[in-house]
A = this chain, B = another copy of it.
Amino acid sequence: MFIGAQVSLYPMTSDFIDVIFSGLEALTPYKSDLRIETDDMSTLMVGAPGPLLDAIRDLFAAAARRPEHVTMHVTLSRGCPGEPDDPSCHCETLTRAQDLSLAERQVLAREAVADAPDLGVEIDLQFSLYVLGQDRHMDEIYGCIDFLKASGTFLKSKNFCTRLRGDAGAVFETLRQAFLRFGPAEGHVTIDMTASANSPSPRA
């Protein structure tokens, strides 16, 4: 299994280089658990979903604690058949999910969100979950949407994606649960996600 993300932080300020570099300091605690490589468009992070989603969350929360409007785009992927197996990506949650029904996975996902840490930063996030390589991909998508609606972070359904709002701790835990507990444990699953904080637009 190969698990990782391409991550880009977009601060809407002329001081964006400073915001990006100070945000990247939030990744320091995760450098021993993740492979991290930055180019001029995005930062690749490879590793298990525990440190991976924590690192993405802390990167965005650090930038969102500043006053400026900031957004982030993340492409998450697990199980892509074109990527090599990587032992550092091993995840017990995924392994155990193979024996559980959809209803059981929904309960565990809700419990994980309820137990998420409170980071004291409210954020908006929207994302699409893609379950690849199987005929009946929409069953798992609809099962995930049912979980999202009961997660406590659901804001609204949009065309092509679902909108969440809440504390960064609960919102990114919702994202991690969607990524890990829906779609086959050994399958190819991806997420296309954008987050936003401190937007001057009237709130949806």
Residues of A within 8 A of B (CB): 4-6, 8, 10-17, 39-42, 44, 46, 68-69, 71, 73, 75, 77, 80-83, 124, 126, 128, 130-138, 141, 158-161, 163, 188, 190, 192, 194, 196, 199-204
**Chain B contacts of A75 at CB under 8 A?**
128, 160-161, 192
Closest B residue, CB atoms, query A191 = B192
Contact A40 B159 (CB under 8 A): no
**Chain B contacts of A71 at CB under 8 A?**
8, 10
**Chain B contacts of A14 at CB under 8 A?**
12-15, 68
Determine how close the nearest CB of chain B comes to the CB of A122; give it in whole angstroms.
Answer: 13
**Chain B contacts of A204 at CB under 8 A?**
39-41
Interchain CA distance A122-B96 in the complex, whole Å: 47
Q: Which applies to chain A's interface (DSSP): helix, strand, loop or mixed?
A: mixed
Interchain CA distance A128-B124 in the complex, whole Å: 23
Contact B16 A194 (CB under 8 A): no
Interchain CA distance A196-B39 in the complex, whole Å: 12
Number of copies: 2
**Chain B contacts of A134 at CB under 8 A?**
133, 135
Contact B41 A126 (CB under 8 A): yes
Interchain CA distance A77-B161 in the complex, whole Å: 10
Closest B residue, CB atoms, query A201 = B40
Interchain CA distance A137-B14 in the complex, whole Å: 42
Interchain CA distance A39-B165 in the complex, whole Å: 14
| Contact A124:B40 (CB < 8 A) given known A16-B12, A73-B194 | yes
- Interface CB pairs A-B, < 8 A, 9: A4-B160, A5-B160, A6-B126, A6-B161, A8-B71, A8-B194, A10-B71, A12-B16, A128-B190
Interchain CA distance A62-B196 in the complex, whole Å: 23
Determine how close the nearest CB of chain B comes to the CB of A179; give it in whole angstroms.
Answer: 13
| Contact A160:B130 (CB < 8 A) given known A40-B202, A40-B203, A194-B41 | no
**Chain B contacts of A44 at CB under 8 A?**
158-159
